[in-house]
Amino acid sequence: MFQLFVFQFSFISGWTLLIKLCANHQLLFINLASGSRADGSLFPSLRKYLLVSSNTMDQFDNLADNRLIRGCIYCGGLPDTRDHVPSKCLLEQPYPTNLPVVGCCDSCNQSFSKDEQYFICLLESVLCGSTDPEKISRPSVRRIMEKSPALRQRIEKSKTEVNGQIAFIPEIERINNVMLKLARGHAAFELSQPCRNEPDHFWCSPLLLLSQEEQENFNAAHFPHVFGEVGSRNMQRLQVLQMTRLDENGKEQNIGMLFNDWIDVQDDRYRFLAIDDMGQIVIRIVIAEYFACEVAWGL
Contact residues: Zn ion, CB under 5 A: 72, 74-75, 77, 105, 108
Q: Cβ 184 to Zn ion, closest distance in Å? A: 11
| Closer residue to Zn ion, CB minimum distance, 193 or 219 | 193
Nearest to 188 by CA among 119, 234, 239, 238: 234
Q: Degrees (nearest 5) of the Cα angle 225, 228, 230?
A: 125
Q: Cβ 193 to Zn ion, closest distance in Å? A: 17
Q: Is 15 exposed, middle or buried (0-12, 13-18, 19+ CB in 10 A)?
A: middle
| Closer residue to Zn ion, CB minimum distance, 102 or 221 | 102
Q: Cβ 297 to Zn ion, closest distance in Å? A: 18
C-alpha–C-alpha distance, residues 15 and 33, integer Å: 7
Q: Cβ 242 to Zn ion, closest distance in Å? A: 44
C-alpha–C-alpha distance, residues 133 and 128, integer Å: 10
Q: Cβ 69 to Zn ion, closest distance in Å? A: 13
Nearest to 16 by CA among 27, 31, 28: 31
| Closer residue to Zn ion, CB minimum distance, 74 or 259 | 74
C-alpha–C-alpha distance, residues 138 and 24, integer Å: 34
| Closer residue to Zn ion, CB minimum distance, 50 or 104 | 104
**What are the DSSP E strand ranges found in the chain?**
4-9, 17-22, 27-32, 81-84, 101-104, 159-162, 165-168, 201-206, 239-246, 252-259, 263-266, 270-277, 280-287, 291-297
C-alpha–C-alpha distance, residues 33 and 30, integer Å: 9
**Residues 281, 199 contacting (CB under 8 angstroms):** no
Q: Cβ 103 to Zn ion, closest distance in Å? A: 9
The residues that bridge with 32 in the sheet, in sequence order, are 17
Q: Cβ 111 to Zn ion, closest distance in Å? A: 8
